[in-house]
Structure 1
Amino acid sequence: MNEPSRAKWHDSLHDHDRHDHARLLQGIRSALLPGPHDPHVTMLPERMWLRIPLLLLLLGMTIGFTAGSIAIPIEVDHRSPGISAVLGVLQAAPLMLAVRRPLAAWRLSAGGFLLGALLVRGVGFWPWPVTAFLALLVILFFVALACDRETLIGVGAVTIAGVLGPAVLLGMPGWFGAILAGIVLVVLAFGDAIGGRRTAEAIVREQEELRRQDLARQAVLEERARIARELHDVVAHHMSVIAMQAEAAPYKIPDLPDAARQTFGVVRDAAREALTETRRVVGLLRSDDEGAERAPQPGLDRLDDLVAAARGAGLKVGVTMIGVPRPLAVGVDLSAFRIVQESLSNATRYAPGSRVQIEIRYGPDSLRVSVVDDGPRGTPEESHGGGHGLVGMRERVVMLDGTLTAGARERGGWEVVADVPYGDPD
């Protein structure tokens, strides 16, 4: 290795060492000093039937460990009851706090352990009751679950160097201190592994939820664009008719007054200008297939075609018409057709072989479209987020000031019901 390469390699090693030392110091600072970095979490299941037993178990462990940490020094080591009570509470009682404030619980317990090592130096094999050390291990586990890796390294370093180290210096055998340090490291590593998995699962759930929201937003935008294209066709057709009628009126009506002729000219020019603006604004939403877009927009007059296609796909479809059919606004007619179309498509995918009943009810003020199936008789397709057809249907109905309900039926199957005001027929 030449001199420049060797120097560069040494600089890289020094930079790496400085970075590691900085991370260690930052971790120790985060472990020892309270601040906004302290985790405030509830590391318990959301379901109450799991949370309550675990809380009761934690309470029982806290009471048992604290009582043992007080009684063992008094009965076995014949220590002062007052000092034993203070040390026992400091060392084991913070366990109950660990489920919400793990770092605060560790600071209290570690302080109690250090105080115990200083007050009981040179007496016995080690200066703490075994129950207190078990409580500390549980607290460390909660710390590992909740804290980031940098803080966790600081907690481990302080526990080994600041709690176990002084105990070894004050009389505890070194080999036993090494065993305790190994146990601390194993508990921290185990908790960190479980905490990392919990974090990964939470991130995956969050990403899945964001993906579902993105898909729903995309479905809304796509459906609105589709509605806009269909609205463009409807408006363009009627504005063209208005423009042509206004253009032809002076030739159809003999001896038309000049004022009326001018009025028809204004109507014609306004219609053409509106048509141009509509094509300019909404026409950008069109796809390249202009021929398909200029086809007449479907309505309930093509309901038989939908029923025939659904029967061909394996559904058993029945149609009921209630009330006297009446002319419908183009938007209402088209939306009713799309609602039935989407409902039959969903039934084909998720309720294959089911019986589907379509009901078209002409009420006094609104049109009710109802599509009900009785559940799958075959193996339905696997759902991959779904629900976007319902988003589109709801967009259409809301645009027409109507209401839509959709959901599972108590007797099985699925039901979609839309009530749409008639509006003004075209």
Structure 2
Amino acid sequence: MDTVVANWTAGVAGWSAEQRRRLAGVNPYVLDSLLALFSAAVSVWSVWNDEVDRPWWVYALAVGTALPLPWRRRRPMSVAAASGLVSVGVSVAAHSSMPQIPVYAVLAVYTVADRGRDWQRMLLLAVVVVSNVVGTRSADGMLFSLLLTVGTFVFGSLVRELRRLARVEAERAHEVGLRAASDAARAVAEERGRIAREMHDILAHAVSLMVVQAEAGPVVVRSDPERAIRTFDTIADSGRDAMVQLRRVLGVLKEDGAGPQLAPQPRLAELGAVAERVREAGVRVRLELPGPGHVLPADVEATAFRIVQEALTNVVKHAGASAAEVRVTGTGDVLEVLVSDDGRGVRPRADRAVSDWSGGRGLVGIRERAAACGGRAEAGPRADGTGFLVSARLPLGAAVLVERARA
């Protein structure tokens, strides 16, 4: 039984939706013209069934009450005024011929209540109430007329409010859709930027070391074969390390629904291997890292690793330095990262501070990584014009501070 009732309800709902779609596609002038014909027929029928034989012009007035209705949506107040004036003529000339339910009046009042301006609605309501009280000859007739016209006005006002609420909901849904599309586009852009930074850090570091080692290998292959062997071993190690990290990145991209939390998260302990490869490239590296008991968030640790890796890559590629120093220290609620070298640097300008120095794509990536963690990074030449300095301050977050307090 429940299934039958559910199927019947679904069928009625579907039929109603289909009927609403069909009605929505009908020209409003055609629909209002049909309503005008119906109203005219009701008025003529009322005159025809009057106890008194009425002349032809009374029939004409009865039809005239419905003539303006096809334009009720476009000019609601004008249509209501025209129909009302003709109705007054019928009431004065042949009051008993007035229909019990004046369809034209119902349609006119409903349309003004739904589509009219506020002053038009209030004016019509006052006129309707006064005319029903003054123009009706019996108390019962007055009450019925008031219930009919005022009820129609209230119903039209309710439809007006529902239509307004529907517009508000539609606008809100549109704004939500735009916001969702904007958030999705922003998320895609951020993810693309994150992947680009990962790929840049992995490839730039590995390829830079491989190029430097490959250029140095032929120079020492005859004079120092052992060093040449170590050089080519370093090239192979750099290539293998880059392949491992690339597989990790590409593996995350292939997984459906994989988020940033699944991305490779290098640790600061791995910087020893990075520093060793840079030493093999001919740059002395002094490395200072936090102790093993130092608690760091995974994202902050990965960001610090990538910043140091990119800075050392730039030392090998551009600085022409013989030595570099890396210091990663935790002070209070901030992790500080400093990478400096003794290379050629960049000649500073008096009108530009170190923090205003833009640099290339790698330095932009350093700033973006620091900003993603809620921190700040700066890169530029030293004040004396010798060497280059990269510094970053990364907040550790409240969770780490609580964990340290408990320890």
Interval of TM-score (by shorter of Structure 1 and Structure 2):
0.3 to 0.5
User: Could you tell me the TM-score, scaled by structure 2's length?
Assistant: 0.44
- Higher RCO structure (Cα 8 Å, ≥6 apart): 1
TM-score by length of 1: 0.43
